[in-house]
């Protein structure tokens, strides 16, 4: 992130965790930052927290009173008038920090946005879907977690957004997750997870994963992918060799694609809690520009890590 500093906007500028993370980010000289909110409130809050924030290095924008407000309102109106958004509605929406922060990214006045410490995922992601939209050839937005284990970093997707992806969507999640892993210099070896490995089992859920695997091979023949495959066969070399001896992925997978949100979300939390792994995410992928959502239970470290990840995503554009 330090090599090519990117400009990240944090809409929840008065939140204590956001302010503490902002100080760490500025001290690390990792990114350029803009906080959204009332400048007086933000500075008072920082003083109350005894944070020696260098406000010469941080931009603070109060959306309604900013010089951007009228231009952003007009842009939103032009983009959304076909959805029956009139100018008054556009003005009301632009007063919302999520819409304002997203518009900064859309207009190129910021390179990425991180929000959600206070607001819901829907509040953070909806403006991005409406304004920034998905990349060409990508039909759905998905997410990954970086699972930082003692000896490696694994990529888990999708553990946060899509409840029951079909075969087409699973394939797209796999290809997009591989691209994300490459952006962070992780060699993607994709395991399309199921309760069965290879041809040993059958059933609707297994067939969906099998079809998704074939779609990945067809659309991205340069990727190493295996599926359906069980988790133990994907990570353990002995089990992988026993169950799928001819596989390039079995026993050494780095990208794990879960068949549904229920499985993915529970697995990442189980691994995180039982192994002490650091889980960074969810990292949103598939958008034209990076916007990432925080959990409302986020720690200062979570916010710091997510901003760094967002900055690196912005470098890859």
Helix, coil or strand: residue 110: coil
Phi and psi (nearest 5°) for 52? -85, 65
Together in a domain, 249 and 176: yes
Residue 240, both tokens: 């992988």
Q: Does residue 298 share a domain with residue 263?
A: no
Residues 57, 15 within the same domain = yes
Mention every residue, 6+ apart, whose C-beta is less than 8 A from residue 221.
none
Total domains in the fold of the chain: 2
Shared domain for 168 and 123, answered yes or no, is no
pLDDT, residue 295, reads 80
Helix (H, G, I), strand (E, B), or coil: what is residue 120? coil
Helix locations, 276-299, DSSP H: none
Which CATH number do you get for residue 46?
A: 3.40.50.10950
CA distance 206 to 199: 9
**Is residue 116 a part of any domain in this protein?**
yes
DSSP, res 135: P
Same domain membership, residue 155 and residue 267: yes
**CATH number reported for the structural domain that contains residue 261 in this entry:** 3.40.50.10750
Query: Are 129 and 150 members of one domain?
Result: no
Residues 213 and 164 in one domain: yes
Does residue 147 share a domain with residue 240? yes
Residues 268 and 150 in one domain: yes
Q: Which of 170, 193, 175 is nearest to 253 (CA)?
A: 193
Residues 146 and 229 in one domain: yes
Tell me what pLDDT residue 200 has: 66
Identify the CA nearest to 305 among candidates 7, 111, 30, 6: 30
Same domain for 233 and 212: yes
Residue 307 lies in a domain: yes
d(CA 135, CA 91) in angstroms, rounded, equals: 27
Range of the domain at 187: 142-275
CA atoms within 13 A on the CB side of 299: 6
pTM of structure: 0.86
Q: Is the peptide bond before 158 cis (omega within 30 degrees of 0)?
A: yes
Instruction: Please check whether residue 111 lies inside any domain of the structure.
Output: yes
Concatenated DSSP letters of 91-108: HHHHTSHHHHHHHHHHHT
254's tokens: 């780095």
Tell me: do 181 and 128 sit in the same domain. no
pLDDT averaged per 10 residues in sequence order, the chain, 317 residues: 94 93 94 95 92 89 94 94 91 93 96 90 88 88 93 92 93 94 92 83 84 95 92 91 88 94 92 90 91 88 93 89
């Amino acid at each position: 992130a330090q090599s090519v500093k990117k400009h990240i906007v944090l809409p929840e500028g008065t939140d204590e965790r956001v302010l503490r993370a902002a100080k760490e980010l500025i001290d690390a000289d990792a990114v350029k930052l803009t906080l959204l909110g009332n400048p007086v409130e933000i500075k008072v809050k920082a003083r109350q927290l005894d944070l020696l924030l260098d406000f010469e290095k941080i931009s603070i924008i109060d959306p309604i009173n900013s010089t951007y407000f009228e231009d952003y309102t007009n842009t939103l109106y032009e983009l959304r008038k076909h959805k029956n958004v009139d100018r008054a509605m556009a003005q009301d929406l632009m007063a919302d920090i999520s819409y304002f922060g997203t518009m900064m990214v859309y207009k190129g006045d910021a390179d990425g946005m991180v929000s959600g410490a206070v607001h819901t995922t829907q509040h953070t992601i909806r403006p991005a879907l409406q304004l920034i939209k998905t990349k060409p050839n990508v039909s759905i937005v998905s997410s990954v977690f970086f699972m930082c284990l003692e000896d490696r970093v694994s990529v888990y997707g999708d553990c946060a957004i899509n409840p029951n992806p079909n075969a087409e969507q699973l394939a797209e999640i796999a290809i997009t997750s591989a691209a994300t892993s490459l952006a962070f210099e992780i060699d993607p070896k994709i395991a399309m997870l199921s309760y069965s490995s290879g041809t040993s089992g059958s059933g609707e859920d297994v067939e969906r994963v099998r079809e998704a695997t074939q779609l990945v091979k067809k659309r991205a023949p340069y990727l190493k992918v295996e599926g359906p495959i069980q988790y133990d066969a994907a990570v353990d070399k002995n089990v992988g060799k026993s169950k799928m001896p001819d596989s390039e992925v079995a026993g050494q997978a780095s990208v794990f694609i879960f068949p549904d949100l229920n499985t993915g979300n529970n697995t990442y939390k189980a691994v995180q809690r039982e192994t002490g792994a650091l889980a960074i995410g969810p990292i949103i992928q598939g958008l034209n520009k990076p916007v990432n959502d925080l959990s409302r239970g986020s720690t200062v470290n979570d916010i710091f890590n997510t901003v760094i990840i967002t900055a690196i995503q912005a470098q890859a554009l």
